Chain A
């Protein structure tokens, strides 16, 4: 199992457990975590599942792929993009990510 903790802007946190073939986005949506909207359903087309990966995990999770980076860049003037920004639909959960912490941003583009 791999546990992922979602930290809200107000500091409250929820931890959810994955054993399916899910991305960080799927796990949040399936558990009704606030602030991860995923309007496109997980195909890096809407940016509404944007999260900041916790600094302690950023290296292990790695940076965005080419298409994802292009999407984040395009959203740059609507949301605050940081070096740890990722689209959570593109972070596939594996056992190596057990304990992962991500921060949910204040708002998602267009939501």
Chain B
């Protein structure tokens, strides 16, 4: 038997039930995370199920995560895994372009997303977060997604297209963008002219017109000092070739789409988690008091944001408990064997942060909110590599991770510093297979805090004195 098994690896165990032809398609789209969790509980870290004519192979746990990250663009293809992307952007764009073109485009975007490049964005993030605070006033109620979504969009529009753009076209742009995002469609063939899809395509055409004009405007009248948009308009490929307007438009739309869709959900969950865990909320407000004193955060510096390490831990823990990208999809480009199971060319391979992040073999008390588990200074910290994968991993790891983490930090800091907040509704994830946002309504009641007069900490001086290399060169 053993010899036989060596010759022919087994097929991955399959889920029970499922309809003829459709397989588990309807279950998946009703509650994908439940389907995947049940699969893990009954079949273990590798199993398969059918969706229509497709076979999905689910791979769970840190070592399988590592395998998928390392094999993407080798045994596994990312290009064919998101058909809606072609329609929303262009088939020759970004991750989905041929490798060489992808690499050229990535080289233009990446330098603007380095962790150290965040210095220039922190003031924008603080300004937009404060704009929300001013509009909220001293007390009242707000709905998380409806309120934080526009702020996230404002931060993206202001950071990527410039202050002038945001002021002039912010709201029109936001509405069009919502329609455009509606084009994210996993199930139906894309030629089916659903209402959502038609709206998305119409919005796309309008957005293209707006951005074409905007590029022309910036070519005529460059702004000084250059902002992100000016840099992109002026950018060339490493070989000196200029970048076509069409491509600039796709890049900008991709950045805003990717940043808005995911960050809105993630920052909403982060606030929910903090409000549901008053002990840690106090820890965070203590940290804020130390760093910001009694200031509002309007003048928050990059150094201050970097120093908010307890907030970093909170964001990691929310990423673990509520990963908004709850699955990541690749397509097998060749037959291969994984842990004794056969995967065939053409199978869809799924990673599932929503399940892998809650495996008890990997995390102690996996369903509990314990941000300190990620504090690597602690002697009992023991989080394995490749176990936290909310931003993906390997070559296709989220390009905007530093931006996203920074903006969530700034927005949460401003809100927690200013208000005492309470959840009104019981939070639950949205139904269906979209980005894993909290369902509406999910409202918060807030009241302005009274802060004792205190000066903010001089973080740069403290950090340099503590020997932080990032501050060693006169505030690098």
Contact = CB atoms under 8 A, between A and B. Distances in A.
B388 A20 contact: yes
A31 B405 CA distance: 13
Given A1-B385, A39-B107, A19 B66 contact: no
Interface in B428-475: 469-470
B193 interface: no
A94 B62 CA distance: 9
B111 A19 contact: no
Contacts of A43: 102-103, 106, 395
Given A30-B115, A42-B395, A18 B106 contact: no
Contacts of A38: 110, 114
B392 to A, nearest CB: 6
Interface in A13-35: 14, 17-23, 26, 29-34
A32 B116 contact: yes
A2 B62 CA distance: 13
Contacts of B45: none
B471 to A, nearest CB: 10
Contact of A95 (B116, B384, B389): B384
B397 A26 contact: yes
Nearest to B382: A1
Interface residues of B, number: 40
A20 B384 contact: no
Nearest to B353: A21
Given A32-B470, A34-B469, A93-B385, A21 B69 contact: yes
A41 B69 CA distance: 15
Contact of B386 (A29, A37, A46, A94): A94
Given A17-B376, A20-B386, A30-B115, A41 B109 contact: yes
**Could you tell me the dominant secondary structure of chain A's interface residues?**
loop
A21 B66 CA distance: 7
Contact of B374 (A12, A19, A23, A31): A19
A74 interface: no
Q: Which of A34, A43, A93, A94 has the most CB of B within 10 A?
A: A43
Nearest to A36: B114
Interface of B is mostly: helix
B70 interface: yes
Contacts of A107: none
B385 A41 contact: no
Contacts of B382: 1
Given A32-B115, A92-B66, A92-B70, A23 B394 contact: yes
In this complex, the interface size class of chain A, counting residues with CB under 8 Å from chain B, is 20 to 34
Contact of A41 (B238, B388, B391, B399): B399
A106 to B, nearest CB: 16
Contact of B110 (A22, A30, A34, A39): A39
A45 interface: yes
B201 interface: no
Nearest to A8: B469
A94 B385 contact: yes
A70 interface: no
B386 A1 contact: no
Contacts of B70: 92
Given A1-B382, A21-B66, A92-B69, A41 B389 contact: no
Contacts of B116: 32
Interface in B353-369: none
B389 A21 contact: yes
Contact of B383 (A1, A14, A22, A34): A1
B65 interface: yes
B397 A21 contact: yes
B402 interface: yes
Given A19-B374, A19-B388, A21-B393, A45 B69 contact: no
Given A18-B385, A21-B386, A42 B111 contact: no
A17 B469 CA distance: 16
B379 to A, nearest CB: 12
B146 to A, nearest CB: 31
B8 interface: no
B28 to A, nearest CB: 24
Contacts of A17: 376
Given A1-B376, A40-B103, A22 B114 contact: no
B223 interface: no
Given A21-B392, A21-B393, A30-B402, A41 B113 contact: yes
Contacts of A22: 385, 393, 397
Given A41-B399, A43-B103, A95-B384, A21 B394 contact: yes
Interface in B317-373: none
Nearest to B392: A21
Contact of A19 (B384, B469, B470): B384
25 contacts: A2-B385, A18-B385, A21-B66, A21-B389, A21-B393, A22-B397, A30-B402, A31-B115, A32-B115, A32-B306, A32-B469, A32-B470, A38-B114, A39-B107, A39-B111, A40-B110, A41-B107, A41-B109, A41-B113, A43-B395, A45-B103, A89-B395, A92-B70, A93-B385, A94-B386
Given A20-B389, A43-B102, A92-B394, 10 more contacts: A29-B402, A30-B402, A32-B115, A32-B470, A32-B476, A40-B103, A40-B106, A41-B113, A43-B395, A92-B393
What 3 pairs between A and B have smallest CB-CB spacing? A21-B393, A41-B110, A19-B383
